[in-house]
Amino acid sequence: MTHVLDPHALTAETPPRREPPTPFADVTRSESAFRAFLHGLPGVDQVGAQSRVAVLGTRSIKTTSKAWAIDTAISMVDLTTLEGADTPGKVRSLAAKARRPDPTDPGCPPVAAVCVYGDLAGIAKEALAGTGINVAAVATAFPSGRASRAVKLADVRDAVANGADEIDMVIDRGAFLSGRYLDVFDEIVAVKEACGEAHLKVILETGELVTLDAVRRASWLAMLAGGDFIKTSTGKISPAATLPVCLVMMEAVRDFRAATGRQVGVKPAGGIRTTKDAVKHLVLVNETAGPDWLTPDWFRIGASSLLNDLLLQRQKLRTGHYSGPDHVSVD
Amino acid sequence: MIGGERLAVRKTYKLYLGGAFPRSESGRTYEVHDAKGAFLANAARASRKDARDAVVAARGAFPKWSGATAYNRGQVLYRVAEVMEGRHAQFCEEVAAGEGLSAGRARAAVDAAIDRWVWYAGWTDKLAAVLGSANPVAGPYFDFSLPEPTGVVAVLAPQRSSLLGLVSVLAPVLAGGNTAVVVTSRERPLPAVTLGEVLATSDVPGGVVNLLTGDAAELGPWLAEHDDVDAIDLTGAPPERAMEFEREAAGSIKRVLRPPAAEPDWSGDPGLGRMRTFLETKTVWHPKGF
């Protein structure tokens, strides 16, 4: 059988596996060793995690702190459109919104990135040229991840060639849940290589991982394999980003940096629709991983409708009266 | 317990917001007294954030309510009158206690309120015929003028007439297809609370009517300034502040219904004025078919 995409991807000869950073260099030496390591991670106290986020969620953020939180959250938004009906025109209008979220107020910061499907990355890149706003593209057979590795890698290379600065990949949840951890690891390593200069965000799709223990394992797996960011969800299934999941992931990146010295970012995506939700996430970041993560380089929020709510709250703070959905753009 | 004195069930009523009965976001309540000063119940004292949430609920309910056929809206409103009839005794008790009326006069007020609701229910599918028109033109096309609902209407309900007055300002807003955020009478909110229970158990979609018990002087400015409120009825506003509310409403070019000089006797013929205030006329040109 001849393969149309990349014959080398299917050859029996595989390069030696890249080692994770010290002190975890040897955990991927065999399937059983890797499983023993991931299952040896401390278990997550689910009730404890829920009560912790419930306590943090009651923090009252007011006046100047609120204004700071809103502006920070806007600057962390990955403004996203991932619909089958996306068009170049829609991506351009989203890019315009990303540059100047509130046209009535030049003081409003731009968002961090625009997130689109790989085929539209070129359009987004062109529309955002010279702004410093990144183009993120989803790849690897998003959102299901059900395609052969050759197809996934071709998808990634295509998105990078189109100008994507960041690649959002999905892990193979089927392999992860059936315990083939090294398959998942190798795939992330291969995608990371295919990314070249582009940053790699690894989507765990926590809604399909069922338990917080599995979220912790998947987070460590993705970080060991070289992901620059770990991201909660595709946004295509529910539940998406929840606070307990985000707590476990923030703990994972904190512990990983303490052990290896390498900092990994976190991106909750999907289900964050209100300013209140966003502020709760910022509180969680600050209290769990610390203020080092409170910048768009290390924390992103994947959202589409959230930005409008942030803008409405921002207008309320600025004008002193409530604004309405007629006063922000429909995207 | 048998033969013993029964303990009183002291009531703390909540808001009616988006089809649900939440407490005020602020956690505040206030005591409601009857006309002689005796304790009746606790009512939630709505805050500006409750008003904000109510506007969001009303905006969300607007497409469905305004998009329903006029006939269907009439049926739904008539159903409300039916359920009110079932609560007749409770309304009478609350109106008598709150307004200090005799049993007979309270019954007359409740009867009038239910009749008024039925009257407005009948108007839903007649408004277009009475307020709209097919305009004469000199060309091969039609020209129609049609009344359309204004949108989200904030209503500061009358302070004295707690049921008949409330129905007289709320029903005309709904009949035209608007959704409403109502601030009830501060001193006499109980008939409005019961009306909320009536609305929740009839076919009115959640969010079409939102009832906030509390102070019109406190909530008025927030509703008047709110960019997403399309019109405001100042009937129950404190007279000395009505002008201020009207000025604030100008910022977002709201329709404003000014308060009467003194609260009127609501038993008179209501006329079409209130419905007309919260309707916009759209005129369309339409080519004749061949």
What string of DSSP letters covers A71-91? Answer: HHHHHHEEEE---TT--HHHH
Give Cα A81 to chain centroid, integer Å.
Answer: 14
Residues in chain A: 331
Would residue A8 count as lying in a domain?
Answer: no
Would residue B231 count as lying in a domain?
Answer: yes
Q: Please name the residue of chain B whose CA is at the shortest distance from the CA of residue A324.
A: B228
Question: What is the per-residue pLDDT for B289?
Answer: 75
CATH of the domain at A123: 3.20.20.70
**Amino acid type, A236:** K
A-B C-beta contacts closer than 8 Å: 27
pTM of the model: 0.89
Q: How far is B128 from chain A (nearest CA, A)?
A: 27
With an 8 Å Cβ cutoff, is A62 touching chain B?
no
Would residue A154 count as lying in a domain?
Answer: yes
Averaged pLDDT for residues B210-225: 97
Q: Is A184 left (phi over 0), alpha (psi -120 to 50) or beta?
A: alpha
pLDDT greater than 60 at residue A1: no
Known active-site residue A186: no
Q: How far is A317 from chain B (nearest CA, A)?
A: 13
pLDDT tens string A157-210: 999 999 999 999 999 999 999 999 999 999 999 999 999 999 999 999 999 999
Domain that holds residue B130: 14-287
Domain that holds residue A310: 34-319
Would residue B3 count as lying in a domain?
Answer: no
Averaged pLDDT for residues B177-196: 97
Question: What is the per-residue pLDDT for B25?
Answer: 94
Cβ contacts (< 8 Å) between B248 and chain A: which residues?
Answer: 321
Question: What is the per-residue pLDDT for A12?
Answer: 46
Looking at A228, A267, A280, A309, which residue is catalytic? A267
Q: Please name the residue of chain B whose CA is at the shortest distance from the CA of residue A326.
A: B228
Instruction: Flag if B228 and A322 touch (Cβ within 8 Å).
Output: yes
With an 8 Å Cβ cutoff, is A327 touching chain B?
yes
Mean pLDDT over all residues of chain B? 96
Compute the CA torsion angle B269, B207, B88, B185 (nearest 10 deg).
Answer: -70
Question: What is the per-residue pLDDT for A15?
Answer: 65
DSSP E strands in chain A: the ranges are 77-80, 113-117, 134-138, 166-170, 199-203, 229-231, 265-267, 301-303
How many C-beta atoms surround the C-beta of residue B270 within 10 A? 18
Q: Say which residue the tokens 């009937």 belong to.
A: B235
Domain total of chain A: 1
Cβ contacts (< 8 Å) between B59 and chain A: which residues?
Answer: 324-325
Q: Please name the residue of chain B whose CA is at the shortest distance from the CA of residue A312.
A: B227
Would residue B199 count as lying in a domain?
Answer: yes
DSSP E strands in A6-92: the ranges are 77-80
Compute the CA torsion angle B123, B129, B130, B134 (nearest 10 deg).
Answer: 160
Alpha carbon distance A240, A208 (integer Å):
9
Would residue B67 count as lying in a domain?
Answer: yes
Would residue A296 count as lying in a domain?
Answer: yes
Cβ contacts (< 8 Å) between A324 and chain B: which residues?
Answer: 55, 59, 226-229
With an 8 Å Cβ cutoff, is A104 touching chain B?
no
Would residue A329 count as lying in a domain?
Answer: no
Alpha carbon distance A162, A196 (integer Å):
13
Looking at A102, A168, A186, A277, which residue is catalytic? A168
Would residue A91 count as lying in a domain?
Answer: yes
CATH of the domain at B141: 3.40.605.10
Known active-site residue A297: no
Domain total of chain B: 1
Known active-site residue A62: no
Residue B290 — very low, low, confident or very high, per pLDDT cuts 50/70/90? low
